């Protein structure tokens, strides 16, 4: 089941949206649009997979062992981008979700390309004309590193960016789409707190990362 790529009028998500516990924020972010503006162009994807990271009681979270220069954004106000570099190769995008001073965030793991698909493919070193099947199209943005590369997200450019400002070139919006069914599973790629079901996906969506279940 694919979501419609037709974009209706949409509203930028306000800071209050992120000023809650990361779990409901992660669930509610599924189906929202992530928009990157590059000059007059827009790259748009629909979020289909994300993970919640808490601070207290969550050893897998970057914020767990306290504030450092790297993770400072997670301790700041909600609605800001936390971008980090991992494995010497990849950038991962999070948004800060802080409630009552408690650090937290949501990691974005996959999106369904909606607009500017050719530019996203190019950014990934792929040729759209050669991507003929859904399983090949997944290569554009199924995985946190792939998603960031498709949208040109880097730490230098986007870390600590306000994602709720209409002046920002990176933000989330709501076009009214609501997923039919959301699935919660354990998070991927971590070695601590591996059993917590804090990864959320849109059931059946082909752009979810990892093994295909459909």
Residues engaged in binding DNA (CB under 7 A): 51, 53, 60-63, 65, 68-71, 74, 82, 84-90, 92, 94, 105, 107, 109, 124, 139, 143-147, 155, 187-191, 209, 211
Q: Can you name the residues that pair with 82 across neighbouring β-strands?
A: 94
Q: Which of 108/175 has CB closer to DNA?
A: 108
CB 191, min distance to DNA, A: 5
The phi, psi pair for 148, rounded to 5°, reads: -65, -40
Q: Which of 70/178 has CB closer to DNA?
A: 70
CB 136, min distance to DNA, A: 11
CB 121, min distance to DNA, A: 11
CB 197, min distance to DNA, A: 15
Q: Which of 17/207 has CB closer to DNA?
A: 207
d(Cα 96, Cα 75) in Å, to the nearest integer? 8
Q: Which of 12/188 has CB closer to DNA?
A: 188
Q: Residue 90 class from Cβ within 10 Å (0-12 exposed, 13-18 middle, 19+ buried)? A: middle
Residue 178 DSSP one-character state: -
Q: Which of 84/177 has CB closer to DNA?
A: 84
CB 10, min distance to DNA, A: 25
Residue 103 φ/ψ region, left for φ over 0, alpha for ψ in the -120 to 50 degree band, beta for the rest: beta
Rg (the chain; Cα; Å): 16
Q: Which of 64/177 has CB closer to DNA?
A: 64
- List the one residue out of 35, 15, 129 whose CA is nearest residue 77: 15
d(Cα 31, Cα 41) in Å, to the nearest integer? 21
Is-contact 43 109, C-beta < 8 A? Answer: no
CB 167, min distance to DNA, A: 25
On the CB side of 54, CA atoms within 13 Å amount to 14
């Amino acid at each position: 089941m694919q979501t419609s790529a037709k974009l209706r009028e949409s509203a930028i998500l306000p800071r209050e949206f992120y000023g809650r516990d990361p779990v409901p924020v992660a669930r509610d972010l599924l189906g929202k649009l992530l928009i990157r503006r590059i000059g007059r162009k827009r790259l748009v994807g629909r979020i289909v997979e994300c993970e919640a990271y808490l601070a207290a009681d969550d050893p897998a979270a970057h914020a767990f062992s306290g504030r450092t220069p790297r993770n400072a954004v997670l301790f700041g106000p909600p609605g800001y981008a936390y971008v980090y570099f991992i494995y010497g190769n990849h950038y991962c995008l999070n948004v800060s979700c802080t409630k009552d001073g408690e650090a937290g965030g949501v990691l974005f793991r996959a999106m369904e390309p909606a607009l500017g698909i050719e530019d996203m493919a190019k950014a990934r070193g792929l040729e759209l004309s050669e991507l003929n099947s859904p399983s090949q199209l997944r290569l554009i943005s199924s995985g946190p590193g792939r998603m960031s590369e498709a949208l040109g997200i880097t730490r230098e450019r986007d870390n600590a960016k306000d994602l709720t400002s209409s002046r920002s070139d990176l933000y989330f919006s709501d076009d009214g789409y609501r997923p039919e069914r959301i699935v919660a599973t354990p998070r991927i790629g971590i070695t601590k707190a591996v059993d917590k079901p804090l990864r959320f996906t849109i059931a059946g969506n082909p752009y979810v990362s990892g093994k295909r279940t459909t």
